[in-house]
């Protein structure tokens, strides 16, 4: 039934964002908060699609973003969470304060996949490649992976630092649903870098796929 375009493409910029566009977007969100992405570009005087604004904000401009290399712990956490959740990047990102789903997805595809491959582990199933080759193609990460947990290589079980086989690395996968994050109040200042992220431990962050959702009033 013909999806309506997300925006008037004829009048929108595409590609890399300029400094000025960034400044406009940040200024607007500081003043009015996140949300209403569709109307935001016009209100902010940006010739961009709302989707693009949202992505730019979430992946690059948000003040609580942690830039820079991933730590070994983050690596391990990503590997473990991916084993349990599959390509649920947003949920995984919810466990890594200051990291975005896009960033984690990129990191997975560029670094971790290769890392696992070098260890002889299939990045999809988290099983040893020899097993994966023989396994049925329908094997899914998650339960299968849990079953295969004992096959964590010495390196990966570095990730699984738990002595027991409980939940890999002792990660408390508290998958409970929690209320969405309090949207940044328009009047209040946005959290400074690391303020939001740094104050939480990785494990304390509720996995809440909707944590970014519905920041609208």
Partner DNA sequence: AATTCCTCCAACCGCAGGGGG
Partner DNA sequence: ACCCCCTGCGGTTGGAGGAAT
Judged by the rule CB under 7 A, the positions of this chain that interact with DNA are 1, 3-4, 6, 13-17, 35-39, 49-52, 54-56, 59-60, 87-91, 101-103, 105-107, 109-111, 114, 209-216
How many CB atoms are closer than 10 A to CB 31? Answer: 11
Smallest separation (angstroms) from DNA to the CB of 161: 25
Q: In terms of CB distance, is 100 or 156 closer to DNA?
A: 100
Which is nearest to 80 in space by CA: 2, 146, 21? 146
Torsion sign across C-alpha atoms 163, 166, 172, 173: positive
In the block, residue with structure tokens 């992976």: 145
Smallest separation (angstroms) from DNA to the CB of 182: 13
Q: In terms of CB distance, is 52 or 80 closer to DNA?
A: 52
Smallest separation (angstroms) from DNA to the CB of 62: 12
Write down the number of H helices and E strands in the chain: 11, 0
Smallest separation (angstroms) from DNA to the CB of 190: 16
Largest Cα separation within the chain, whole Å, is: 58
Q: In terms of CB distance, is 48 or 157 closer to DNA?
A: 48
Smallest separation (angstroms) from DNA to the CB of 191: 17
Smallest separation (angstroms) from DNA to the CB of 55: 5
CA distances from 11 to 17, 19, 23, 57 (A): 15, 19, 20, 20
Q: In terms of CB distance, is 89 or 149 closer to DNA?
A: 89
Torsion sign across C-alpha atoms 26, 28, 34, 39: negative
Q: In terms of CB distance, is 6 or 203 closer to DNA?
A: 6
Q: How far apart are CA 115 and CA 21, in angstroms?
A: 37
Q: In terms of CB distance, is 35 or 142 closer to DNA?
A: 35
In the block, residue with structure tokens 């960033």: 103
How many CB atoms are closer than 10 A to CB 168? Answer: 26
Q: Are 13 and 47 in contact (CB under 8 A)?
A: yes
């Amino acid at each position: 039934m013909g999806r309506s375009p997300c925006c008037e493409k004829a009048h929108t910029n595409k590609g890399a964002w300029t400094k000025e566009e960034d400044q406009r977007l940040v200024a607007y969100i500081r003043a009015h908060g996140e949300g209403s992405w569709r109307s935001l570009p016009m209100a902010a005087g940006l010739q961009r699609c709302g989707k693009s604004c949202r992505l730019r904000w979430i992946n690059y401009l948000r003040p609580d973003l942690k830039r820079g290399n991933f730590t070994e712990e983050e690596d391990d956490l990503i590997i473990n969470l991916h084993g349990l959740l599959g390509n649920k990047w947003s949920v995984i990102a919810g466990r890594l304060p200051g990291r975005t789903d896009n960033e984690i997805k990129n990191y997975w595809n560029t670094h971790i996949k290769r890392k696992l491959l070098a260890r002889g582990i299939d990045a999809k199933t988290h099983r040893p490649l020899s097993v994966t080759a023989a396994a049925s193609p329908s094997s899914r990460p998650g339960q299968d992976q849990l079953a295969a947990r004992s096959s964590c290589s010495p390196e990966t079980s570095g990730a699984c630092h738990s002595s027991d086989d409980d939940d890999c690395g002792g990660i408390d996968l508290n998958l409970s649903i929690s209320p969405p994050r309090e949207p940044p109040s328009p009047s209040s200042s946005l959290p400074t870098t690391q303020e939001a992220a740094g104050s939480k431990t990785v494990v304390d962050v509720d996995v809440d796929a909707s944590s970014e959702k519905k920041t609208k009033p």
